[in-house]
Amino acid sequence: MAREQLQVLDALDVAKTQLYHFTAIVIAGMGFFTDAYDLFSISLVTRLLGRIYYTNVTAPKPGTLPPRVSSSVTGVALVGTLMGQLFFGWLGDKMGRKKVYGVTLILMIVCSLASGLSFGSTPKGVMATLCFFRFWLGFGIGGDYPLSATIMSEYANKRTRGAFIAAVFAMQGFGILTSGVVALIVSVAFDHAYGAPAYEDNPAASTVPQADYIWRIILMFGAVCRGVDLLLAYEDAGNRTLHGPRR
């Protein structure tokens, strides 16, 4: 078995650049794209979370997240990422990287959706639920990092390996950019649909109830990207990408 695996890797090293190389770039690149989106989109909604859940209409300015809450909401996913890298890196070596990669995708889809559906009867309850799901989202992201990079490295040939891996990692920048674009589009759309007065003019009416949907939609959009990646990965199962190259 080990000898057959080495033969496959040797064949991949000398294979000509073919369609399956670019398919692997898209699948692995989508993972890095959405990793960056999920990790950076939370920083775009923290101010809105403070406005919605911590505003006192008698105060001269809108509410903001308390420092501890803000640090927890933005940092808990990074803690999960660290732990996920250690766990899924080990599990990928034991069970096979492609199989574990599918598990991480499903975990991240579920947690992205759950983050947007965070609930609670109090602001602290909502933030605690959000932190819980963000941790497990980060746990899945931590698995995606080593698995995507390793899968791409294994499929690339010697001549193009550096360029292909760089292309996969470059998708992180597009993910960060997309998070800002999505947040801007959703915010403008809601502002156009539910116009509200400035806080200085009418504190009570300045934050409409529908604003609670904005941050949820932004966070849940990551699940859409993950779903596309999952479909591509499973559609690709059984074709040349998973069965090796043609010389």
| Alpha-carbon span 186 to 80, nearest angstrom | 27
- Give the number of other Cβ atoms within 10 Å of residue 46's Cβ: 17
- Give the number of other Cβ atoms within 10 Å of residue 229's Cβ: 25
233 lies in a domain? Answer: yes
12 lies in a domain? Answer: no
Q: What's the pLDDT score for residue 14?
A: 52
247 lies in a domain? Answer: no
28 lies in a domain? Answer: no
| Alpha-carbon span 225 to 232, nearest angstrom | 11
130 lies in a domain? Answer: yes
| Alpha-carbon span 213 to 3, nearest angstrom | 54
4 lies in a domain? Answer: no
5 lies in a domain? Answer: no
Distance spanning both ends of the chain, measured CA to CA: 21
Q: What is the DSSP letter of 1?
A: -
Q: What's the pLDDT score for residue 27?
A: 84
Q: For the chain, list residues with pLDDT below 50.
A: 8, 240-247
Residues 6+ apart with CB under 8 A from 10: none
184 lies in a domain? Answer: yes
| CATH code assigned at 78 | 1.20.1250.20
Copy the structure tokens of residue 26.
């898209």
Structural domain of residue 136, as residue ranges? 33-242
- Predicted TM-score (pTM) of the model is 0.85
Number of domains in the chain: 1
Residue 60 phi, psi (nearest 5): -75, -20
